[in-house]
Chain A
Amino acid sequence: MTGNSVEVRDVVKCHGTTLAVDHLSLEVRRGEFFSILGPSGSGKTTTLRLLAGFERPDRGEILIEGRSMRDVPPNLRPVNLVFQTYALFPHLTVFGNIAFGLEMRRIARAEIEARVHAALDMVKLGGKHDRLPSQLSGGEQQRVALARALVNRPAVVLLDEPLGALDQQLRQEMQVELKTIQERVGITFVCVTHHQEEALTMSDRVAVMDHGRLLQIGSPQDIYESPASAFVANFIGVSNRLTGRVAAVTAARCTVSVPDLPAILAQRPVGVTEGGRVTVVLRPERLHLSRDVHQNGFDNAVPVRIDKTVYNGNEMQYLLRLSDSVLWKVRVPNSGANQKRFLTGEAVFVRWNADEGVVLTE
Chain B
Amino acid sequence: MTRTVPSTDPANHPAVARLPGWLLMPGLAWLGIFFFIPLLLVLVISFAARGTYGGVEWTFSLTSYANLIDPLYLTIFVRSLTLAVATTALCLLLGFPMAYYMARTPLRWQAIWLLMIMIPFWTNFLVRTYAWMFILRTEGLMNTLLMDVGLIASPIEILYSDVAVLIGLVYGYLPFMVLPLYAALARLDFSVVEAAWDLYASGWGVFWRVVLPLTKPGVIAGCILVCIPSLGAFITPDLLGGAKTMMVGNLIQHEYLVVRDWPFGSAISFVLMGVVLLGMMGYLKVEGVWRERI
Contact = CB atoms under 8 A, between A and B. Distances in A.
- Answer yes or no: are A and B bound together in one complex: yes
Interface string B108-142: 00000000000000000000000000000000000
Interface stretch (A81-89, A189-197, A309-317): A81-89
Interface in B187-202: 189, 191-192, 194-202
A172 interface: no
Contact of B194 (A54, A91, A105, A152): A54
B69 interface: no
Given A90-B214, A91-B213, A52 B2 contact: no
Contact of A165 (B4, B200, B205): B4
Contact of B199 (A85, A90, A152): A152
A104 B210 contact: no
Top 7 closest A-B pairs, CB basis? A137-B1, A101-B199, A87-B195, A104-B200, A87-B191, A134-B5, A74-B197
Interface in A164-213: 165, 167
Contacts of B214: 89-91
Given A104-B200, A104-B205, A139 B1 contact: yes
Contact of A104 (B3, B191, B192, B201): B201
B201 A75 contact: yes
Interface residues on A, range: 20 to 34
A53 B199 CA distance: 12
B198 A81 contact: yes
B244 interface: no
17 contacts: A54-B194, A54-B198, A73-B197, A74-B194, A75-B197, A75-B199, A75-B205, A80-B198, A87-B189, A89-B196, A90-B192, A100-B199, A104-B201, A104-B202, A137-B3, A152-B199, A152-B200
A66 B218 CA distance: 44
Nearest to A93: B294
Interface string B239-260: 0000000000000000000000
A148 interface: yes
Interface string A130-155: 00001001111100000010001000
A80 B200 CA distance: 9
Contacts of A139: 1
B285 interface: no
Interface in B1-55: 1-5
B104 interface: no
Interface of B: 1-5, 189, 191-192, 194-202, 205, 209-210, 213-214
Contacts of B4: 137-138, 141, 165
A232 B194 CA distance: 32
Nearest to B193: A87
A35 B226 CA distance: 52
A154 to B, nearest CB: 10
A89 B195 contact: yes
A167 B4 CA distance: 12
B282 to A, nearest CB: 23
Interface of A: 52-54, 73-76, 79-81, 83, 85, 87-91, 100-101, 104-105, 134, 137-141, 148, 152, 165, 167
B188 to A, nearest CB: 10
A305 B198 CA distance: 56
B191 A75 contact: no
Contacts of A140: 1
B6 to A, nearest CB: 11
A89 B194 CA distance: 11
Given A79-B198, A140-B1, 20 more contacts: A52-B198, A54-B197, A54-B198, A75-B198, A80-B199, A85-B191, A87-B191, A87-B192, A88-B192, A89-B196, A91-B214, A100-B199, A104-B200, A104-B205, A104-B209, A105-B200, A137-B3, A137-B4, A138-B2, A138-B4
A138 B1 contact: yes
A52 B191 CA distance: 13
Contact of B200 (A85, A101, A167): A101
A45 to B, nearest CB: 12
B5 to A, nearest CB: 5
Contacts of A83: 191, 194-195
Contacts of B194: 54, 74, 81, 83, 87
A340 to B, nearest CB: 41
Contact of A148 (B189, B199, B201, B210): B199
A209 B210 CA distance: 34
B195 A167 contact: no
Contacts of A54: 194, 197-198
A195 B65 CA distance: 75
Nearest to B195: A87
Contacts of B191: 83, 85, 87
A103 to B, nearest CB: 8
Nearest to B188: A90
A91 B209 CA distance: 10
B2 A137 contact: yes
Nearest to A105: B200
A172 to B, nearest CB: 16
Nearest to A98: B199
Nearest to B191: A87
Contacts of A76: 200
Contacts of A104: 199-202, 205, 209
A25 B52 CA distance: 93
A54 B202 CA distance: 13
A76 B199 CA distance: 9
Given A81-B195, A90-B192, A100-B196, A75 B202 contact: yes
Contacts of B201: 75, 100, 104
A100 B199 CA distance: 7
Interface centre among A101, A139, A167 (most CB of B within 10 A): A101
A76 B197 CA distance: 9
